[in-house]
Amino acid sequence: MTSFYAWIGELAQRGILPGDFQYPFLIRGFLCVLVLAPILGGLSHLVVTRRMAFFSAALGQAALTGVAIGLLLGEPLNAPYGGMFGFCLLSTLAMVYVKRHATLPPDTLIGVFHALTLGLGLCLLVLVTRQFNVHQVESVLFGSLLTVTDGDLLLLVAVGIIVAVLLVRQYNQLLLDSLSPPLAKVAGADSAFLEYFFAVLLTVSIVVSLKIIGALLVEALVVVPAAAARNVASGTRNYLLGSVAVAFLAGVGGLTISTRFLVPTGGAVVLAVSAIFFVTLAARAMLKRRSL
Amino acid sequence: MIQDAVDPPLVDAGPITIRHHRELLLDAVSLRVARGSLHVIAGPNGGGKSTLLRAMLGQIAFEGRIVLNWRGGGAIGYVPQTFPVDPTLPVTVEDFLALTRQRRPVCLGVSRATRARVGGLLARVGLEGLEKRPLAVLSGGELRRVLLAHALDPEPELLILDEPAGGLDEAASRGLERALTAMKRDSAATVVMVSHDFSQVRRLADRVTLLDRRVVAEGSAHDVLGVAGAVEELPLR
């Protein structure tokens, strides 16, 4: 990767690429955005259609707890993936199981998990900060390009490929199940399998995105791109492309804001994606007014 | 337990008992649906009509047995009672109908062959040219006919319609009825339909089962609805 970064840096020095690309961490960040946009943008439109926005928020909180657990178990400060994957997958399976078997409304149950994981996470973080400076875990909480390594990027690419392949195989059934579970069942879909399947895909995608976006903000990137695209899209294909485009623009915009103003990448990306959402909202209102 | 066998009638169910949280939803209900007929299940709200359909579809646990005597491939078409569509959902009629008709994810585009198939299906229910219309902007009647189009392919041996005209105005209900009549004429499918609309039942049904958690009456539309002035007196839950 070093020679690749050097080559890109040279292109930047010659003025062929923007000056920011002289720095390897920014090149890495840009590559992360290139991979993240299709993953999170692609998942985003199904998250919104399946009404899993609150579920995603709860997963972000679970990741916070996962970070603390990983660090307490002795994982490296820069990559507590064992804790994050372990606790997030456990939380996901528990949330889906309880949601499918309890009679309470799903948002109430997810609210319980949301509160539980946040409370647990805060307690564990206090324990963690006895061993580490709290600023050292900020990168996972709020996202930071400076801490993203080539290993993180490779993990992101590997997970991205696996998620894309699996999603392509099940996409039609997932969408039909989102629209009408009884129709999907008649068409041969296994609703329970689809629910666990999608929740697990979402979880692993969120976990590998944490270093860039941050545990507290990652849900924004799995909800807002689709919400923005939905304002202007007129078919499933446009909906997907719109979600991916918004995620990409927000990622690039966030990177730029983050490096120019020295603010956490996650916060900057969320600001960018929110801005895009309001632009599309205004565009929708204008289109509607014109069509009247 | 649902069993497949080879002898008519197509649906031979009973006695079916279903309880939910100790409440008796169906009490020893039997139903026999002759092959090729249009059999209507009528009755008051809460009488267990949709529950019986869900049992036939294997979507709810029940005591008793349902035998489906397939002769063909055993394809089931289904039009659910409700199909809530979010007003901002950007899924078009073509996308929706393509979901079970092509392997390629519809978000990557609809193939030419699927497009032709979808066009043919829409023509069958009198909705030519609506392919690119989002589901969210369809009228109630159009949406019901799209669901009917979905249920007609692959050619069903058993078509289950759960209040297909529910919530529709007179004109939309008539439009749907025309689509159903055309379907009945062109297809060998056996139809089981839940309906509240007794005048429609009289026009369409070959046989009627009047259900109020148990079978109140069973016979031709004339016999059941004619005799049962009792029908209008059935309690609404």
CATH code of the domain containing B203: 3.40.50.300
By C-alpha distance, the chain B residue nearest A244 is B107
Whether residue B160 sits in one domain with residue B95? no
CA dist A117 and A60 (Å) reads: 9
With cut-offs at 50, 70 and 90, classify the pLDDT of residue B233.
very low
B169 and B63 share a domain?
Answer: yes
- Residue where a domain stops, chosen among B102, B137, B172: B137
Report how far residue A41's alpha carbon sits from residue A47's, in angstroms, rounded to the nearest whole number: 10
- One domain for residues B91 and B128: yes
Return d(Cα B64, Cα B56) in angstroms, integer: 11
Does residue B71 sit in the same domain as residue B159?
yes
* C-beta atoms of B99 and A172 within 8 A: yes
Could you tell me if A180 lies within 8 Å of chain B, comparing CB atoms? yes
Ranges assigned E (strand) in chain B: 2-5, 11-20, 23-33, 38-42, 66-69, 76-79, 158-162, 190-195, 207-211, 215-219
CATH of the domain at A208: 1.10.3470.10
Give the distance from CA A261 to its chain's centroid.
Answer: 23
Q: What is the pTM of this model?
A: 0.88
Same domain for B166 and B128, yes or no, is no
In this structure, is residue B17 part of a structural domain? yes
Strand ordering across the sheet containing B38-42: B76-79, B158-162, B190-195, B38-42, B207-211, B215-219
Count structural domains, chain A: 1
Residues of B with Cβ-Cβ distance to A280 under 8 angstroms: none
Are B90 and B203 in the same domain?
A: no
Distance from CA of A282 to the nearest CA of B (A): 15
For the record, the structure tokens of A91 come out as: 């939380």
Q: Does A108 touch chain B (CB under 8 A)?
A: no
Please give, rounded to a whole number of angstroms, the shortest distance from the CA of B92 to a CA of chain A: 6
Q: Which residue has the tokens 């009647």?
A: B141
Asked whether the beta carbons of residue B106 and residue A171 sit closer than 8 angstroms, the reply is: yes
Instruction: Indicate whether B91 and B174 sit together in one domain.
Output: no
| Residues A42-81: tens digit of each pLDDT | 999 999 999 898 898 888 888 888 988 988 888 887 788 8
Per the CB < 8 A criterion, the answer to whether B146 and B77 are in contact is: no
The pLDDT of residue A169: 94
**Interchain contact, B91 vs A175, CB within 8 Å:** yes
Do B78 and B93 share a domain, yes or no? Answer: no
| Chain A residues within 8 A of B91 when measuring between CB atoms | 175, 179, 235-236, 239
The stretch B115-129 carries a mean pLDDT of 92
Answer yes or no: do B80 and B120 share one domain.
Answer: no
Q: Is the peptide bond before B235 cis (omega within 30 degrees of 0)?
A: no
Q: What is the per-residue pLDDT across B71-98, written as a single tens digit (0 to 9) for each?
A: 888 899 999 988 999 888 999 999 999 9
Q: Is residue B132 part of a domain?
A: yes
Total number of domains in chain B: 2
Residues B74 and B12 in one domain: yes
Joined together, the tokens standing for residue B205 give 């049904």
Q: Which residues pair with A189 in a beta bridge?
A: none
Residue A59 structural domain: 2-291
Residue A43's nearest CA partner among A53, A33, A58, A32 is A53
Last residue of a domain, one of B104, B137, B170: B137
Q: What is the pLDDT of residues A190-200, one digit of tens each?
A: 999 999 999 99
Judging contacts by C-beta atoms under 8 Å, the chain A residues touching residue B76 are: 186
Give chain A positions within 8 Å (CB) of B20.
none
Query: pLDDT for A66-125, tens place per residue?
Result: 988 988 888 887 788 899 999 999 999 999 999 998 888 888 999 999 899 888 988 888
Residue pairs spanning A and B at CB distance below 8 A: 82
Pair of tokens at residue A106: 């799903």
Q: Which domain holds residue B167?
A: 2-84+155-233
Which chain A residues are within 8 Å of B77, Cβ to Cβ? Answer: 186
Q: Which residue of chain B is at minimal alpha-carbon distance from A171?
A: B105
B75 in the same domain as B16: yes
User: Angle at Cα B152 formed by Cα B197 and Cα B40, nearest 5°?
Assistant: 25
Choosing from B107, B137, B167, the residue where a domain stops is B137
Amino acid at A53: A
Which amino acid makes up residue B163? E
Q: What is the spatial distance between Cα A283 and Cα B7, in angstroms, rounded to a whole number?
A: 60
Tell me if B127 is assigned to some domain: yes
Interface test with B, best of A236, A240, A281, A288 (most B CBs within 10 A): A236
Q: Are residues B123 and B9 in the same domain?
A: no
Please report whether residue B21 resides in a domain: yes
Domain presence at residue B212? yes
Six token digits for residue B228: 């049962």
Work out whether the CA dihedral A18, A23, A26, A28 comes out positive or negative. positive
Q: Cβ contact (<8 Å) for B88 and A236? A: no
Beta bridge partners of B210: B42, B217
Residue of A nearest to B131 (CA): A235
